[in-house]
Amino acid sequence: MNHLELNWHNALSTRKENGHLRRLRPPNEGCDFYSNDYLGLSADAAFQQTIYEAIGRDTRLLTGSTGSRLISGNSDAATGAEKRIATAHQVEDALLFPSGYKANLALFSCIAGRHDTIIVDELIHRSVHDGCLMSTARKWKFRHNDLTHLEALLKKASGNVVIAVESLYSMEGDFAPLGAIVALAKKYQAGIVVDEAHAIGVFGKGLVHRAGLQQEMLATVVTYGKAMGVQGAAVLGTHLLKEYLVNFAAPFIYSTGMPGVQIVSITAAYDHLERHPTLAITLQDRIRHFRKYQLSNTSQESSPIQSVQFQHDRELRAVTQALAEAGIGAYALFPPTVGQARLRVSIHAFNSHDEIDQLCGIIQQYEYRK
Ligand SMILES: Cc1ncc(COP(=O)(O)O)c(C=O)c1O
């Protein structure tokens, strides 16, 4: 082992000792209360068939795009899909990315400059922080959903200011107060970026769109790997924003364009959801059923992410074990990842009432926090 490898070994040993070692596990075969596939699209045979037929009509879609979109990797499929996405969200334009991580990296790496300030909610996704690391702008954090703290930072900020939030937070399951943030942004002439990764599909075209606030945004990020059942992302905004990203966002410029199969599957996901509005209604029914048990510490009644807190880590370990033995998977989060030990229960349109009853019956046997 050389010195570098010794450092890796020591870092891993520390993680093991703290009980925080990450491992790649075989996919869980049991009952799914942990994935982001909120509407069950990823396993929907009719949806899969639509994508399969689209590819059957043009097998060139199956293989790579051969280069950056600025050189050889652009296609009618990509530009057509971006038009389709922009129309769906009622924005001027859209720019596709192979993942939400890369979309945020691209956007935050270049939207603000040396004398500007990006103010992010402290719970915003890691990809936003990493994008800010690539940027010359300064980054400040405000306490989660705390508008008083946000306003205090807005008063102090210099240069152009961008506020970045998620519409639906993936750990807490709560929403950003978008209307109030728009009002603050107007007062201090700041721009707003909203990441809609967990909201799109669950709430139609997202919570920004639903609240009629799309025109108030500097940019919106939607991702397709969760409720949309496929993979990828788009940045939504003006023609100017798109042209700027195409010219200045390094993760877009210096990377091979997305393969056609990914692009047609995204278009198919929009079509499928527009044809099947009942999926989101069924999901809300399942969330209501879960909340009848009054286990959740999540304030939002309609959120597909519900969090059940436990007084002690050992209780959470025990409940996770009991659930696993019953063939039920839910995601356990321990401090310091979150302030308080909690079970993150992701609810899906395909979870039956019986499955939810079984899950809640097990949780009730442990000391959850009310
Ligand atoms: C809020 C948020 N933004 C961005 C991402 C990254 O999206 P992707 O998984 O498509 O890279 C995630 C994924 O976990 C997310 O939760």
- Residue 203's nearest CA partner among 281, 289, 91, 292 is 281
Q: Is 320 in the pocket of ligand 1 (CB under 6 A)?
A: no
Per-residue pLDDT, 26: 82
166 lines ligand 1 (CB under 6 A): yes
Q: Where are the domains of the chain?
A: 27-43+277-363, 58-275
For residue 336, the model assigns a pLDDT of 79
**Ligand 1 center–CA 168 separation, angstroms:** 12
CB-based contacts of 316, cutoff 8 Å, min separation 6: 310, 332, 334, 341, 342, 343
Distance (Å, whole) CA 121 – CA 144: 5
pLDDT < 50 stretches in the chain: none
The CATH class, in words, for 58-275 is alpha beta
Q: Which two structure tokens, joined as six digits, stand for 39?
A: 């509407």
pLDDT value of position 367: 80
Any ligand 1 atom below 6 A from CB of 94: no
Distance 38 CA to ligand 1 centre (A): 14
CATH architecture of 27-43+277-363: Alpha-Beta Complex (3.90)
pLDDT of residue 339: 82
Do the two domains 27-43+277-363 and 58-275 of this chain adopt the same fold?
no
Residues 118-158: tens digit of each pLDDT: 999 999 999 999 999 999 999 999 999 999 999 999 999 99
3-state secondary structure of 234: strand
Q: Is the CB of 127 under 6 A from ligand 1?
A: yes
pLDDT of 337 reads 78
